[in-house]
Amino acid sequence: MEKGSAGRSHPVADGAKEGIWKLIRRSYRAAFGAAVLSILALLLYVNAAPSGAEVRYEIIMQAGEAPTAMRSSYSLGGYSDARRFTVNGSRMASDQVVFTWKVPYGRFDRAEAVVRYRGDPEELLLGIKGGASKWLETKPVHCRMLNELPWDRIEEKGLTLFQRENAYATIHDFLGSRRAVIGQGMGRLSPSDLAAYYFDGLPYYKEKAGEKARMLDIGLNLRGAHKAIAYIDDGRLELSFDKYDLNMYEGGDNLSFNVFRKGENVYGATMKDDGDTAASYITSSPQGMSIALDGLQDGFYTLVWDCGPDVLFRDLRLSCKWASFLDRVFMAQGELYGLERSGTVSLYTSARIMALETWHAETLQEVSVDGVMTITLSEPGVPVTTDLASGIKEIAVRNPNLLLNSPGFSFAVSRDSLLIPSYETFSPTLSLQGIDYIIANYSAPTMVDGAWERRIELDLKGREMDGNTLQLLITSPGLASSEVELDLISIELTLFKD
């Protein structure tokens, strides 16, 4: 927005003018000693047209008297309505084997795979990716340590909760009471009595939790850089906020806003300085940002506001039920910056230790935790560190001109919307010391006719198969250097376009 322009920026009208907002729609079949690996890809394509199409692939692995070593990559040729490929080998001799072939469509919504094999590898994974794409969807087929773990276990819909003690009767109870909301690989510092294995908990939890308000209003004036996590469960993200320049320091006040999914940038925009780069102490008019992202994969997204402390943003609205700020929240009292006075706000956190700080003598205050005045700020610019009880606490701030700092933890504006980031990520080499629960999007394979059999599903929404090329990756980390013999019998793959 130009300096001096009046009124509140309307995100659509002004956004288009400024160009700062964009819309992005944007069976070693044991017969006769021959090993047969068959890959069936049944392609059910339902277009906008009422009739669907069905395409089937069959890929057969054959070995001689003894299983033939299979390693590295196999290109399986093109596609047709019914196609069978033959590759020699059945015994995995490398940590990974890749099958590549052409598919008739660039996009599918999900895949279902049935893997049959012999052997007891430490871990066996199945992954799908597009030819040259950076994305990879992977699910565990076999995990020896979990298969043999003698803990109590509850299985529901492909999920398994392993408990050292039998504390929860259902997975739903477990997820509800603990808000076991876990972002894979986020590497947070939260309590480590829980490990997660290929688990993105909310999709399961929300089925029974019912609908809540779809829009989250974050009634905070936020100053400077912030990072948040949001859980998307309906394929889209609408988000809006207003940016103000405080113009207290010399220099430009750009704000870069980015959205990431598993480290991949799915949206980025920069809001420019208001034109006042002096230390004028004149707060700018609001500049609106409004985005609508469609076709997103469900899961955790990271939102990043990158800017200096001379930038304030507020009126943040998000079309999701769960969102939390990571590590820190820097709230600004509007009254101190030429905006209306900010009233009492409550933030919810699972933090066990928190540092609070205000930069102004006017906003020295006591801050309450769960209704008890417990933290006293008596000197500006001097952080006060406090230990907090376990569980989710309400931090009430009477005069929100405060920096809350709790690296590794999160803050939400309501109890219901709090996301508690990752605990431990389970791997077969993880020490279980201190771990009492493992929640896994995994169930042990079943033994059928002397071989393991496991069915898995993969979400492919929003995934583009570049050049209509699909790659199927079978991975067993450390297999080649181990004594384990792993014979693949068959893989059936069905791809669906819903």
Residues lying near Ca ion in the complex (CB under 5 A):
245, 247, 253, 273-274, 276
Least distance from C-beta 276 to Ca ion, angstroms?
4
Q: Which is nearer to Ca ion, 252 or 380 (CB)?
A: 252
**Residue listed under structure tokens 């939400």:** 412
Q: Which is nearer to Ca ion, 273 or 487 (CB)?
A: 273
Q: Largest alpha-carbon pair distance within the chain?
A: 86
Least distance from C-beta 311 to Ca ion, angstroms?
8
Question: In angstroms, how far is CA 4 from the centroid of its own chain?
Answer: 41
What count of residues does the chain have? 498
Please name which of 108, 166, 226 lies closest in space to residue 464, comparing C-alpha atoms: 108
Q: Which is nearer to Ca ion, 4 or 380 (CB)?
A: 4
**Residue listed under structure tokens 């859980």:** 231
Residue nearest to Ca ion (CB): 245
Least distance from C-beta 6 to Ca ion, angstroms?
17
Q: How far is CA 104 from CA 78, 79, 149, 449, in A?
A: 9, 7, 42, 34
DSSP 448: E
Kindly tell me the burial class for residue 341, based on how many C-beta atoms sit within 10 Å of its own C-beta (0-12, 13-18, 19 or more): exposed
Q: Which is nearer to Ca ion, 310 or 424 (CB)?
A: 310
Q: Which is nearer to Ca ion, 276 or 416 (CB)?
A: 276
Q: Which is nearer to Ca ion, 245 or 327 (CB)?
A: 245
Q: Which is nearer to Ca ion, 273 or 492 (CB)?
A: 273
Extended strands (E) in 207-344: 216-218, 222-223, 226-232, 237-245, 255-261, 264-271, 287-293, 299-306, 311-318, 322-330
Least distance from C-beta 281 to Ca ion, angstroms?
11
State the DSSP H helix or E strand holding residue 96, giving kind and residue range, or none if neither: strand 91-102
Least distance from C-beta 269 to Ca ion, angstroms?
17
Question: Which residues 6+ apart lie within 8 Å of 476 measured at CB?
Answer: 92, 95, 96, 121, 122, 123, 124, 125, 484, 486
Least distance from C-beta 13 to Ca ion, angstroms?
22
Least distance from C-beta 241 to Ca ion, angstroms?
17
Identify the three-state secondary structure at position 406: strand
Tell me the residue type at 437.
Y
Q: Which is nearer to Ca ion, 257 or 325 (CB)?
A: 257
9 touches 286 (CB < 8 A): yes
Least distance from C-beta 261 to Ca ion, angstroms?
31
